[in-house]
Structure 1
Amino acid sequence: LQSETSSSTTLDLAFHWYQSCNTSHRLCNRMRSQKKSWMPSRLLDISSESENQWKLVVVSADNITPAPYFTLSYRWGSNQSLMLRRSTLCDFRRGQQISRLPQTFQDAVVIARRFSVRYLWIDALCIMQDCREDWEREIPAMQHIYSNSVCNLAASASENPNGGLFRTRDTTAIVPGVVAAPSAASTDKNHHIFDDSYWNRQISNGPLHRRGWVFQERLLSSRVLYFGKSQIFWECFTELKCEGFPQGILEHHSVKNLNPLWDLQESGQQEGQESDKMPIHLLRLWNNLVRDYSNCALTRADDKLPAFVGIANLFGEVTGDVYLAGMWRSSLLEQLNWWVDQPRCRISTTYRAPSWSWASLDGPIRPHHQAARTQFLVSITAVTTDHSSHDLAGTVSLHLRGSLTINTQLEQPLQAILYPDSLEIKLDASRPFYFLPLQTASYELLSDAASDHGDLDFHMEVSCLLLEAVLCAVPPIYRRVGHCVIDDEDDISMLGLCVVEDRLASVMSNSDIILI
């Protein structure tokens, strides 16, 4: 190992990983093989006659033939000055000095040329930053921009574009320690000593990967070459490597596991052709992605859905399902059952998603994983969508039928685990709100008293949405303000529900409501 990550030794190793994946990993080539001829609308051409220049090409106008290109993931920082604007378009088309680029962009040019890749896609230079119409055309294409890139370069250790990709490092801190087996041992194998948290410290928890936009860039790219603060890392759909473990990182698994999607895609069938519901393994994958994404930060709160649209488009293409404000039409009831994971969640001050969607909140959320035995206590009678503004932020309303109980009419306080959607919401007697029982989860538990006989105790919990009235209309209109879980039978009965064997029956009449 050399003391610089820009050394020939390091870059040769990276190129070896890239070539090996490109030639032998069927899974990693699967996404690109779907649209090999697809190209972004604009690219940076970095192989001009003058090695000191780059220029912006418009793929359709310049008749650019399909060719490999790299993408770049980086943090914008607060002083991103070099951008594609209406005023800079002509200058970029004529050509610019590479030395005027931020250091991270310059280093990306070095890597691309080293790998004999002529084109580079960087969002700040390929999307018109002062043109809303151009932004709305380009953002839905993120799925294809990253999935068709031959490799994504990630500036994992830099806080802004001036931080660069390369680092000086202490090589002794990278090489894993080796402990030789004692001469009297039963095995002669050596043992490696390594820090099993270094991947999370340098990559997953690093400055770059806290950024919301990077979540889908990492997931959609077949290959990612990370430039950390002490070494480079490689992640593809098949392998996870670094300089310390160039043959594969021990005890680590890539988060880029989209196998349920690939399996469905390879079968050539859309799930809607066989079932009305998204299969449980796909829904679990989606929920896990939503949970992880909700922990990321966005500079602009209204980017919540656009920064996830590439992943949504991929799911939609493979499943044939209908996407509604962060959820899927075939499994809306299941996906309504989520709660905030930390009290720091905030409700968006401007509309970007309906209150029943996780996308309406800024902060971590946790979707409910379906129990083996469950019962839905509401039904969806209609879904209305208004896309008059933009298809990423169209307003969606749910027409539901279920039983409502207002908190101010309860005989006594409920014993429930309450999850207000924000700390700004006070769920107490001073504020009227409604319980809408949504779903049950049933479990069979082996009690201490019955363990000698192998008997099972029956346990049930009920998840409820907490709503507040918005408009007295017919049907009335409500907004979600929280979530709660109730597991005491007496408390469950206070909501007009009674246990009949292992199911719940309502003793109250159901109401039609609209949830916005």
Structure 2
Amino acid sequence: MTATTEGLRDLVSQPGYKHHLVEDLVKSAKKGCALCAFISNVVSRGFYQCEGLESKVEWTLEEMESIFISACCEQDESFHSDGSKVPSITETTLAFGYISKHGRYYSAYENVPVSFLKLTIFADPAAPTNLSLPALTEELALFCAKQPSLSESVRGTQIAEGIKRHLGECLTGHLSTCPSNDSPVLPRRVINVESKENSQGLSLHINSSDEHARYVALSYCWGDPPHPFITTRITLENPSIVDWTLIPATIMDAVLVTRSLGIRYLWVDALCIVQDDEVDKAEEIKRMGAIYKSATITIAAANSPNVNRGFLEDRPVAKISLPTVLPGGTYGALWVGGACPAPLHEPLDTRGWTLQESFLSPRILHYGSTGLIWKCQKKIFEPVLESYGLYTVPPKLQARIPSGIFNVDSLDTVETNHFWGHIQRAYSSRHLRLLEDRFRAIGGIAEEMQRVSNDTYIAGIWKNYIVQGLAWKYNDTIPNHHGVRGPRQSPSWSWLSVYRPVCTRHCLDDGNEPELVSWSVNLADASSPFGHVLGGELELMATIIQSTKLPVETVSAINLELDYDSSDAEVQSTATFVSDDYYYLHLGRSYGRSIGLLLQLLVDGKFVRQGLVTVQDSDNFIWASEDARRVVIRIV
């Protein structure tokens, strides 16, 4: 394709370069060709636009016969001093097409095959960018390729100016989605990155008079202990003993970014919370949601697994080298850079605390493994500068908290159920070092959601959506990054009581669903209603049936998903839970199935949740039987 002038000529022609029969493409990929592997991986997961049709058609790799690659060329007179027009392959225009059994399919671009993935072609910096090839008119022309660096920088003057441009646009132009408070109240402690107290220009600043100023917040991974560079009661009272030359790389990189933006203050939890003072820690944890929400911008050190790693190193461009013939018959290389999906699982995405830091931050500088991305409520995922990565954004990364949280005049409706389901899936698989963090690490999100939603938060679930709140189950489709292990916490009805990835089963009211009568939550700190929970009780009017009242064939047809880990297949069987102290509670219906809970009766007459059950019960046989009773029960 690129090693000969004929191949390059076909590449820039309207039909494109016939790259491979599909079976040969697959064989080549298996033999180790990076480009063939890249193409075969992508074409097997695409929807294609058929010429003359508005809807897209899904084709599998098996239904394709030949793969074509085409470069849509623009004619740019500025490339040649004599005014001749030169074919120039520009970014984002390398396209794929294919021939299927049903004919050839095209994209919306005239005479350009289906473009389902963007690529960049650029030249080796050590080689000439202008390559000779016969033009379509048989006259000599030049094939011109970009000549960027083969790595991408996330620092420097150009980057800082790009960030400032995005920030200014957000503060003044995104008034319906993003907060415009340009001078928030400072947190109680911040790092002064323009200090005159030492040669490093760093000191801890105490805000004792409600000072207002811009500040940057840092979201990062601590990594494994020990963590010697933290604020303690001793260093707080004797700041002169702090050796700022020992500051970890990730925090130092955040200092450099803050300075480059002309902002004086930086908030970092390790240094702005007294780590050996439990009272101070509890007070600051209650404020953390507000701290990130009020920050001018948050630095997300997404690709850094620990505080000593840093995040400002250059990012290599994902690329595939292709041989080409240079003028004079020598060989050089063209490089193809593929559109890379934004990584779903950066190191930062595995830490529990960083979820609310991300959602409550109105503006984020996301230092990921493939580049620097700007995020705000308006621009959800955009490279700070033109990127060779040509990011595609998975839907999972597009979710943002409702803009009403930030007190803007937004048209967004704040409805807890849908958004909380996203929080549940994203948070439940994340790593937490301390058991008591399970509830409080999303307390800031819960507090803000309650403030604007006319709903009431009850230890992980919402009053207005009690049925959906109880219909959670173990989710084995996502990785589990939990670092904590221990006995199951109370209350059993809350998904936050288990240390497993969870999701909510779709469950519709059917007129027989539970009704919330009352509730109580036992807080570790009464002044922190969204903090650590020691226990709780739900009083429900619900329909229940004792397990011993069900026929054996009905019990065997019930699908049980236990809330706790068990590798024993017998324990997972509903037959194990047939006795006088096991009951089923009806929640609702979903696609012809009945959804319910398995409960265990305790000696005090209260119940504890054991798992979620589903049963194919189109006639509502179980809950319409005379043994089913609608009573008031208490679940702890």
| TM-score, normalised via structure 1 length | 0.79
- Indicate conservation of the 8 Å contact 2:545/2:629, yes or no: no
Give 1:113 shift: 0.6
SS of 2:191's partner is strand
Alignment equivalent of 2:298, drawn from 134, 152, 164: 152
1:483 is matched with 612
1:186 is matched with none
Q: Does 1:379 align with 2:540?
A: no
Q: Which moved more, 1:116-125 or 1:251-260?
A: 251-260
- Indicate conservation of the 8 Å contact 1:52/1:97, yes or no: no
- Indicate conservation of the 8 Å contact 1:340/1:366, yes or no: yes
- CA offsets per residue over residues 79-112 of structure 1, 9 Å max, x none? 32211111221233x4745421001111111110
Q: Which runs of 5+ in 2 are unaligned?
A: 1-147, 323-335
1:345-364 superposed matches below 5 A:
349=486, 352-364=489-501
- CA offsets per residue over residues 17-45 of structure 1, 9 Å max, x none? 33332332224532x64x95432111111
Go from structure 1 to structure 2 and tell me whether the alpha carbon gap of 1:417 and 1:428 turns closer, same or farther (over 3 Å shift): closer
Q: Which moved more, 1:342-351 or 1:109-118?
A: 342-351
Q: Does 1:116 align with 2:262?
A: yes
Alignment equivalent of 1:283, drawn from 417, 439, 443: 417
Q: Does 1:11 align with 2:146?
A: no
Whole-angstrom distance in 2 between the partners of 1:258 and 1:108: 24
Q: Which moved more, 1:6-15 or 1:243-252?
A: 243-252
Go from structure 1 to structure 2 and tell me whether the alpha carbon gap of 1:251 and 1:321 turns closer, same or farther (over 3 Å shift): closer
- Indicate conservation of the 8 Å contact 1:403/1:436, yes or no: yes
Root-mean-square deviation (Å): 3.4
Alignment equivalent of 2:377, drawn from 237, 243, 246: 237
Alignment equivalent of 1:402, drawn from 542, 545, 562: 542
One-letter amino acid of the structure 1 residue matched with residue 280 of structure 2: D
Alignment equivalent of 1:467, drawn from 578, 581, 599: 599
Whole-angstrom distance in 1 between the partners of 2:436 and 2:523: 16
1:457 is matched with none
2:339 is matched with 195
Q: Does 1:515 align with 2:631?
A: no
1:185 is matched with none
- CA offsets per residue over residues 223-264 of structure 1, 9 Å max, x none? 111222342121111112124549995555684644655299
**Identity across aligned pairs (percent)?**
24
Q: Which moved more, 1:408-417 or 1:357-366?
A: 408-417
- CA offsets per residue over residues 355-404 of structure 1, 9 Å max, x none? 10110011211113454x64343222221333465432153201122233
1:45 is matched with 192
Go from structure 1 to structure 2 and tell me whether the alpha carbon gap of 1:496 and 1:9 turns closer, same or farther (over 3 Å shift): closer
SS of 2:279's partner is helix
Give 1:349 shift: 3.5
One-letter amino acid of the structure 2 residue matched with residue 360 of structure 1: S
1:224 is matched with 364
Alignment equivalent of 1:205, drawn from 345, 353, 362: 345
- Indicate conservation of the 8 Å contact 1:56/1:95, yes or no: no
SS of 2:234's partner is coil
- Indicate conservation of the 8 Å contact 1:270/1:320, yes or no: no
SS of 1:383's partner is strand
Give 1:74 shift: 1.0
- Indicate conservation of the 8 Å contact 1:28/1:223, yes or no: no
Go from structure 1 to structure 2 and tell me whether the alpha carbon gap of 1:329 and 1:394 turns closer, same or farther (over 3 Å shift): farther
Q: Does 1:107 align with 2:253?
A: yes
Whole-angstrom distance in 2 between the partners of 1:369 and 1:214: 27
Give 1:341 shift: 1.0
- Indicate conservation of the 8 Å contact 1:379/1:401, yes or no: yes
- CA offsets per residue over residues 280-339 of structure 1, 9 Å max, x none? x43111122212111222122321111101111110111243221111223223311111
Go from structure 1 to structure 2 and tell me whether the alpha carbon gap of 1:469 and 1:214 turns closer, same or farther (over 3 Å shift): same
Answer 1 or 2: higher relative contact order, Cα 8 Å, separation at least 6. Answer: 1
Whole-angstrom distance in 2 between the partners of 1:386 and 1:97: 43
Give 1:140 shift: 1.8
| TM-score, normalised via structure 2 length | 0.65
SS of 1:304's partner is helix
2:233 is matched with 86
Larger Rg: 2
SS of 2:629's partner is coil
Q: Does 1:422 align with 2:570?
A: no
1:332 is matched with 466
One-letter amino acid of the structure 2 residue matched with residue 212 of structure 1: G
Q: How many residues are matched?
A: 454
Give 1:152 shift: 0.8
One-letter amino acid of the structure 2 residue matched with residue 209 of structure 1: D
SS of 1:305's partner is helix
- Indicate conservation of the 8 Å contact 2:303/2:369, yes or no: yes
Alignment equivalent of 2:222, drawn from 76, 80, 87: 76
Give 1:406 shift: 2.9
- Indicate conservation of the 8 Å contact 2:416/2:449, yes or no: no
